Amino acid sequence: MTDAVSPQPVNHPVIRHGKVGVLLVNLGTPDGTDYTSMRRYLKEFLMDRRVIEWSRLKWYPILFGIVLNTRPQKVGKAYEAIWNKERNESYLRTYTRSQSELMTESLKDLPNVVVDWGMRYGQPSIASRIDALKEAGCDRILLFPLYPQYAASTTATVNDKAFEKLMAMRWQPAIRTVPPYHDDPVYIEALANSVTRHLATLDWEPEIILTSFHGIPKSYFDKGDPYHCHCQKTARLLREHLGLPKERLMITFQSRFGPEEWLQPYTDKTVEKLAREGVKRIAVMNPGFVSDCLETLEEIAGEAGEIFHEHGGEKFTHIPCLNDSPDGMRVLETAVRRELLGWV
Ligand SMILES: C=CC1=C(C)c2cc3[nH]c(cc4nc(cc5[nH]c(cc1n2)c(C)c5CCC(=O)O)C(CCC(=O)O)=C4C)c(C)c3C=C
Ligand SMILES: [Fe+2]
Ligand SMILES: [Fe+2]
């Protein structure tokens, strides 16, 4: 900085400024399905205090003694089954990159905006993308944790990681974070369209649609996490939009981890119960996942389908996530344009 009385210092570094960054951040993904890549990814993920809130004294012996010795092989096999072989990466990474590229196109009318993408765990890291945006001249960054429903273990940890990076920066960019959009009419409409379009491709009609959200331990809910309420509201608004009675659109929670009680009803147990009770045709969707990933492709489209058939169910279909579809992109773009107001 300089003015009339203090002349320009010699060799003052050139720092580009005046641009606005938009950083899309999803959960993360391993670089490969091999033991080392899986272990590195799971270690970073499961050491996060926002994910596992147990005391480190209790958790680390279990994590380093058992989980990181057994889970990488098991989960690596599951990733192999859903790996995007063409790009040699997981679909979560493929879709997140595509969302960033499509967002860049659709924000062309805002020439000062630079769009980028990163992952909370693994690569590309949030820190590396903040550096890249700063390098590109962004002194303001809109941080977009890609979760419609807020949870401390997802949204908050993305924000934490970005601010941790800022702690080490001399000239910090100004930061805004995108709030949850679980009840945004554009999101609800996109979900409803995805149901209608998918069901139109079938020659049968489901008796019940399950909206399956990723679970969290019940203790997190008891401590005040709004996640459960956000999921309930999304499911209710979707049901109302589709004009379905309560018994035809149910909410369940999947992906339990560890021995604690998680949010109920559980997806796998519900799918089994419905089949046992004589329900023959169901559709399952994952409104809480912006992109298809291990948890939707393997656990729902794969495992939940098997459970349903094993217990007497006849027709099972998985409704894909919004991914990088035009409707999905409209949801993300609406949130970005709303939160950029006053900056562009
Ligand atoms: C206590 C552990 C976990 C909590 C709490 C949790 C919350 C949570 N997770 C997502 C979204 C995703 N999770 C994914 C994978 C995954 N999740 C956990 C554990 C917890 N998640 C683990 C250990 C794993 C890895 C796989 C495994 O070992 O089982 C993924 C998929 C990533 C991919 O690459 O495909 C997503 C997405 C949400 C939304 C959430 C809370 C609301
Ligand atoms: Fe998870
Ligand atoms: Fe609730």
In this prediction, residue 2 carries a pLDDT of: 46
For 226, list phi and psi in degrees, rounded to 5: -80, 0
Q: Does the pLDDT of residue 131 top 70, yes or no?
A: yes
In this prediction, residue 38 carries a pLDDT of: 98
Residues having C-beta closer than 5 Å to ion ligand 3: 228-229
Phi-psi region at 293: left, alpha or beta (left = phi > 0; alpha = psi -120 to 50): beta
Name every residue whose Cβ is closer than 8 Å to that of residue 270 and which is 6 or more positions away in sequence. Answer: 210, 250, 252
Give the closest residue to 145 by CA, choosing from 217, 253, 50.
50
Give Cα 220 to chain centroid, integer Å. Answer: 18
Report how far ligand 3's centroid is from the alpha carbon of 148 (Å).
15
Report how far ligand 3's centroid is from the alpha carbon of 232 (Å).
7
Task: Identify which of 255, 260, 292, 323 to mutate to test ligand 1's pocket (most ligand atoms within 8 A of the CB).
Answer: 255
Task: Identify which of 24, 25, 27, 221 to mutate to test ligand 1's pocket (most ligand atoms within 8 A of the CB).
Answer: 27
Annotated binding site for Fe(2+): 214, 295
Instruction: Classify domain 19-180+327-340 at the CATH topology level.
Output: Rossmann fold (3.40.50)
Q: Does the pLDDT of residue 4 top 70, yes or no?
A: no
For the entire predicted model, the pTM comes to: 0.95
Rounded mean pLDDT of 261-276? 98
Query: Which ligand places an atom closest to the C-alpha of 221?
Result: 3
216 lines ligand 1 (CB under 6 A): yes
Query: Which ligand places an atom closest to the C-alpha of 151?
Result: 1
Q: Does the pLDDT of residue 60 top 80, yes or no?
A: yes
Q: Does the pLDDT of residue 1 top 60, yes or no?
A: no
Rounded mean pLDDT of 76-84? 96
| CB neighbour class for 70 (10 Å; exposed up to 12, middle 13-18, buried from 19) | exposed
Residue nearest to atom 18 of ligand 1 (CA): 257
Q: What is the largest CA-CA distance in the chain?
A: 85
Beta bridge mates, 174: 140
96 lines ligand 1 (CB under 6 A): no
**In CATH, what is the architecture of 185-319?**
3-Layer(aba) Sandwich (3.40)
Quick one: pLDDT band at residue 120, thresholds 50, 70, 90?
A: very high
Rounded mean pLDDT of 47-53? 98
Annotated binding site: 214, 295
Report how far ligand 2's centroid is from the alpha carbon of 276 (Å).
28
In this prediction, residue 121 carries a pLDDT of: 98
In this prediction, residue 281 carries a pLDDT of: 98
**What are the sequence ranges of the domains in the chain?**
19-180+327-340, 185-319
DSSP-assigned letter for residue 215:
P
In this prediction, residue 10 carries a pLDDT of: 75
What confidence tens digit (pLDDT) does each residue in 231-252 have?
999 999 999 999 999 999 999 9
DSSP-assigned letter for residue 213:
E
Report how far ligand 3's centroid is from the alpha carbon of 248 (Å).
20
291 lines ligand 1 (CB under 6 A): no
In this prediction, residue 14 carries a pLDDT of: 82
212 lines ligand 1 (CB under 6 A): no
In this prediction, residue 143 carries a pLDDT of: 98
Quick one: pLDDT band at residue 5, thresholds 50, 70, 90?
A: low
Give the closest residue to 283 by CA, choosing from 303, 301, 268.
301
Residue nearest to atom 28 of ligand 1 (CA): 75
In this prediction, residue 286 carries a pLDDT of: 98
Rounded mean pLDDT of 28-50? 97
Quick one: pLDDT band at residue 201, thresholds 50, 70, 90?
A: very high
In this prediction, residue 170 carries a pLDDT of: 93
Query: Which ligand places an atom closest to the C-alpha of 234?
Result: 3
Query: Which ligand places an atom closest to the C-alpha of 46?
Result: 1
Q: Same CATH fold, 185-319 and 19-180+327-340?
A: yes
Quick one: pLDDT band at residue 140, thresholds 50, 70, 90?
A: very high
Q: How far apart are CA 194 and CA 319, in angstroms?
A: 7
Report how far ligand 1's centroid is from the alpha carbon of 154 (Å).
9
Q: In the chain, at which residue ranges do the beta strands (DSSP E only) sit?
A: 19-28, 113-121, 138-145, 174-177, 208-214, 249-254, 281-285, 315-319
Rounded mean pLDDT of 292-317? 97
Residue nearest to atom 19 of ligand 1 (CA): 257
Quick one: pLDDT band at residue 13, thresholds 50, 70, 90?
A: confident
Report how far ligand 3's centroid is from the alpha carbon of 257 (Å).
20
Rounded mean pLDDT of 248-258? 97
